[in-house]
Amino acid sequence: MRIIHCFRSPVGGIFRHVRDLAVEHSRAGHEVGIVCDSITGGAYEDALFDQIRPYLALGLTRIPINRAISPSDFGAFMKSYQQIRSLQPDVLHGHGAKGGAIARVIGSLLRVNRYCVARIYSPHGGSLHFRPGVPGSTVFMLERILERMGDATVFVCEFERNAYLEKIGRPARRTVVNYNGIDSAEFISPGLVEEPRDFEYIGMMRDLKGGDLFIRAFAEAERIVGHPMSALMIGDGPDQHKYADLMVQLGLGKRITMLPAMKQREAFRMARTLVVPSRAEAMPYVVLEAVAAGKPIIATRVGGIPEALGARNPALTPPDDWESLAQVMARAATEPDWFKTTQPDMDTFESTFSSRAMGQRMIELYHSIQDEVCGRH
């Protein structure tokens, strides 16, 4: 099959998800291409694109796509349509709100022209992070309209599917849960540097991901244990300067160091315990990668994280509650057996979150929809 993945931002979990699918499907003999934003990302993301270029038989197309809805969307849509039509895809798979809109609208236009193409949408959180009210209700209405232009919605966890049911309504089209997966080579500990920090935050510097909560919880955890500790914040994002100001305000000095985005396993080596303080998530790869690497992890009880760590895991804390987060961080820093009590069953974990299984399940869905829309039996 000829498969095109459409998404806006080539950073974070969506980018990792698409890269994994591209590699798995290319190895299985399919032709894969990507259409995404040219504004977001930097040298680190460019290097990741370079790694997967050999697997992109249908190429990489990058055009400006703004995060917010704007008049420039029309130009981005027209450029996407021209490029996608020229590639004659069998499958258009949109990821995130903007990518989902591009894939489903363009796929529907191609279908009007009697072109046989499957239209798939994976929210990856996206619109589902909004709450009822303005602008949430408008976003949910648009999702409901776009749903009828697609053939299937693929969720990365049960939480995401339940959020869709609650906020948008019962889907009119097929839905599938296909967990994010990671490669078997990642189930090996990368070890620690000679002098690791106590805690680390890895990800986008955005309040949605809880960077401010991490800073406040770290300061409170120091107060609880009664001595200074050390931490890292690794990543890039719009709230980075605000976080630097908050550290100064709380008198943390050089005890929290900020570093730019880097390879995840390299980041894992730099601190003993990972903290994921997100206010909202779907199924974050950083959690899966940390568990596979045998790394202690503290996380908020949001999205599909409890599905990965276990619903009753004592490492989980309520979202948007830095005081509870600080209590768990203090226990992780002072109780020798804390990690043993929080590590999920690894056999179950590895069989559930495999990238090969994820890729195969997606191909089976693509084939099934292709058979339906093209009248094959």
Of the candidates 316, 302, 15, the one whose C-alpha atom is nearest the C-alpha of residue 163 is 302
What mean pLDDT do residues 38-58 have? Answer: 92
pLDDT at residue number 72: 73
pLDDT 10s digits, 182-200: 988 899 999 999 999 999 9
**2-181+354-373 and 185-352 share one fold:** yes
Q: What architecture is the 185-352 domain classified under in CATH?
A: 3-Layer(aba) Sandwich (3.40)
pLDDT at residue number 377: 44
SS3 (DSSP) at 62: strand
Rounded distance between C-alpha atoms, residue 242 and residue 59, angstroms: 38
> Is the predicted pLDDT of residue 348 greater than 80, yes or no?
yes
The length of the chain is 377
pLDDT 10s digits, 19-44: 999 999 999 999 999 999 998 888 88
Q: What are the extents of the domains in the chain? A: 2-181+354-373, 185-352
> Is the predicted pLDDT of residue 172 greater than 90, yes or no?
no
pLDDT-above-70 percentage for the chain: 99
What is the 3-class SS of 168-187, one letter each residue? Answer: CCCCCCEEEECCCCECHHHC
Which is higher by pLDDT, 112 or 5?
A: 5
- Partners of 233 in the β-ladder: 201, 258
pLDDT 10s digits, 237-285: 899 999 999 999 999 988 999 999 888 999 999 999 999 999 988 888 9
pLDDT 10s digits, 319-343: 999 999 999 999 999 999 999 999 9
- Partners of 61 in the β-ladder: 35
pLDDT 10s digits, 98-107: 899 999 999 9
Which is higher by pLDDT, 237 or 202?
A: 202
Spell out the long-range contacts of 310-319 with Cβ–Cβ below 8 A and sequence spacing 24 or more: 310/344, 313/342, 313/344, 314/341, 314/342, 315/342, 319/210, 319/278, 319/279, 319/280
pLDDT 10s digits, 208-228: 999 999 999 999 999 999 999
SS3 (DSSP) at 26: helix
**Residue 148, token pair as written in the block:** 């009828």
CB 11 within 8 A of CB 5: no
> Is the predicted pLDDT of residue 290 greater than 70, yes or no?
yes
Give residue 376's pLDDT band: very low, low, confident or very high (50, 70, 90).
low
Look at domain 2-181+354-373 and name its CATH class. Answer: alpha beta
Q: What φ, ψ does residue 220 adopt, rounded to 5°?
A: -70, -40
Q: What φ, ψ does residue 6 adopt, rounded to 5°?
A: -115, 130
Rounded distance between C-alpha atoms, residue 275 and residue 216, angstroms: 12
pLDDT at residue number 373: 83
> Is the predicted pLDDT of residue 129 greater than 70, yes or no?
yes
E strands present in 124-194? 152-155, 174-177
pLDDT at residue number 36: 92
CB 239 within 8 A of CB 212: yes
pLDDT at residue number 187: 92
pLDDT at residue number 259: 96
